[in-house]
Amino acid sequence: MGYLKDIKSGKRKKPDKILVTLRRNSDGAQAVYEDQHAKLEDDHWQFCWFAHNHSCDCNRGSYFAESAGEPDPDHDCSESKYSVIRVETPDGKVLFEGDDRVENPYYGKVS
C-alpha cells in the first residue's frame, strides 16, 4: 500500500475526504457520497465502510438518498441493499473498485 507509506513519511498530504460510489442493488442506481471524515491512515476508512457503521444498509441508505437528492428511505439494518463499488480520493486515486457485498476487502485482507 504505497499511499499509506507516502502519508506516513509525509510525502503525501493526508486527504480529509473520500468519494464513495454507492449502488442501490434493487435498481442499479449509483450515487457518489462524500465522506468528509475519512481517515486513510491505518486503513481506518476500510474499517468504517466495510466492517463498521458505514457498512450497514440503514446508514448507506441515508447516504445514498442524501447524495441522490432523494428522501431518506429509513432502511432497517441489513447487508445487501447497497454495495460500495468504488472509493477514491478527491485527487483521483482509486482506493477500491469492485463490489464489497461480493468480496469484502476488509475481511478479505485480515483473513
Residue (95 or 100) nearer to Zn ion, CB:
100
Residues 50-89 interacting with Zn ion (rule: CB under 5 A)? 56, 58, 77
Site size for Zn ion (CB under 5 A): 3
Rank residues 55 and 89 by Cβ distance to Zn ion and give the closer one.
55
- Give the nearer residue to Zn ion in terms of CB position, either 77 or 102: 77
At 33, list the grid cell.
457520497
Which residues of this chain interact with Zn ion, rule CB under 5 A? 56, 58, 77
